[in-house]
Homo-oligomer: A and B are copies of this chain.
Amino acid sequence: MAAGTLFYAQSGGVTAVINATAAAVIRAARARRVPVLAGRNGILGALREELIDTSALSAAELKALAHTPGGAFGSCRYKLKSLQDDRAQYERLLEVFRAHDVRWFLYNGGNDSADTALKIAQLAEESGYPLVCVGVPKTVDNDLPLTDTCPGFGSAAKYTAVSVREAALDVAAMADTSTKVFVYEAMGRHAGWLAAAAGLAGQGPDAAPHLILFPERPFEEAPFFARVREVVERVGYCVVVASEGIRTPDGRFVADAGGGKDAFGHTQLGGVASHLAARVKDALGYKVHWTLPDYLQRSARHLASETDWRQATAVGEAAVEYALKGMKGVMPIIRRTGDRPYRWTVRPAPLAEIANRERKMPPEFIREDGYGITDAARRYLEPLIRGEAYPPYGRDGLPKYLDARLPLVEKRLGPD
């Protein structure tokens, strides 16, 4: 192998399986005798020259890493400015890469990260520094173009479908004398992918979830209330799944309705589920309950989808392969080659076609009445939540997740 170091960084919101990708990257690089440094807190680790020495990970720890949720090296919400606006930052990155002989840069994130990787590649090219930049897909939002799905989404989708099915059984059992309307709030600020996944929990008009609210459709109270009442009267209870990103016809986030400041100037935190539940209670008089799973839905490694876990592993392996082959500016993506049975392969796609582009949910995935998913959506979604990739558990009844304090390599530069 050519001499040099591979730098790997995690970016943006973490997932239940991003560490499976990390473990695959490290394992694949080790097999080729390429040392891997990981950015502490993502790209900030490079800017601050806080580089984690992954050679400290034992084989057993690497195995544990592959089934640990969260981001083991730290991730960050930090978008570099444009090359024109902050050239110095990009130069600092190259300086750190040079100091540590980084020849391959793997950036594990969404569309923003693809963009950043491209800009770094551009500057390296201009400065004549030999650097191969490769993106690695990851996001529970499932909004990257070209790829069939994004690692992280399938597990969050499985969590959503299973949780909604279980909670619905609870509500069904008690509805006669207790809660009649239950609202589940799913992540998805711009697209309703996770809300759509909830639709897998049941089939037929009487099965929960009875109503799904998508950000792709404007939310109007009156028809929604009418549907809730109709379902309660017919089925006995109504399970609603609401995307956090639903908006009123004039474009305001419904989630913000309950937020802001109260009369005492105290912050009121918003939320779609609590707001809808309160409105249903006022308008229809039903007893309501609601849930906001928040980070639980994207960190639930205990309920990971096996498909998702395998894909997260595969893109990590492919990214190393592409990088070491010198394939600049690509990202391994998942290509669906069959539906029944689900078949997929990994192949490279140009980062330039991924950067800053958002994949929307196809309109044909949403039922005509706007409150549910179609068979086409089921066909797409179902394989993504298939299979259980359980983590090992200890005698204490808890999953054995990696808890390693990894050393940073010694700094070779002054502060940024």
**Interface residue count on the A side (C-beta < 8 Å):** 84
A309 to chain B, nearest CB (A): 12
- Is B386 within 8 A of A396, CB to CB? yes
Residues on B with beta carbons closer than 8 Å to the beta carbon of A279: 266-267
A302 to chain B, nearest CB (A): 5
Query: Nearest chain-B residue to A393 (Cβ)?
Result: B388
Give the complex CA separation of A255 and B350 in angstroms.
51
Q: 0/1 per residue, A56-83, Cβ < 8 Å to B?
A: 0000000000001111111111100000
- Is A401 within 8 A of B14, CB to CB? no
Q: 0/1 per residue, A281-312, Cβ < 8 Å to B?
A: 11000001111111110111111010100000
A147 on the B face (CB < 8 A): no
For window 330-367 of chain A, which residues contact chain B by CB distance below 8 Å?
none
A165 on the B face (CB < 8 A): yes
- Is B296 within 8 A of A163, CB to CB? yes
Residues on B with beta carbons closer than 8 Å to the beta carbon of A288: 269
20 A-B pairs with CB atoms under 8 Å apart are: A10-B173, A14-B174, A16-B166, A44-B176, A70-B168, A70-B169, A71-B173, A71-B174, A74-B174, A76-B176, A76-B177, A166-B300, A179-B295, A269-B290, A291-B293, A293-B293, A382-B396, A382-B397, A384-B397, A388-B390
A286 to chain B, nearest CB (A): 12
Q: 0/1 per residue, A8-24, Cβ < 8 Å to B?
A: 00100110100000000
Residue from the list B73, B289, B299, B388 in contact with A294, Cβ < 8 A: B289
A370 on the B face (CB < 8 A): no
Q: 0/1 per residue, A208-236, Cβ < 8 Å to B?
A: 00000000000000000000000000000
A216 to chain B, nearest CB (A): 24
Residues on B with beta carbons closer than 8 Å to the beta carbon of A73: 173
For window 171-189 of chain A, which residues contact chain B by CB distance below 8 Å?
171-174, 176-179, 182
A385 on the B face (CB < 8 A): yes
Q: 0/1 per residue, A388-412, Cβ < 8 Å to B?
A: 1010010111110100000000000
Give the complex CA separation of A171 and B296 in angstroms.
10
- Is A169 within 8 A of B278, CB to CB? no
- Kindly name the residue among A173, A269, A281, A395 whose own CB sees the greatest number of chain B CB atoms within 10 A: A173
Residues on B with beta carbons closer than 8 Å to the beta carbon of A262: 262
- Is B401 within 8 A of A165, CB to CB? yes
Residues on B with beta carbons closer than 8 Å to the beta carbon of A307: 397
Residues on B with beta carbons closer than 8 Å to the beta carbon of A166: 16, 69-70, 296, 299-302, 399, 401
- Kindly name the residue among A76, A174, A387 whose own CB sees the greatest number of chain B CB atoms within 10 A: A174
A394 to chain B, nearest CB (A): 9
Q: 0/1 per residue, A91-109, Cβ < 8 Å to B?
A: 0000000000000000000
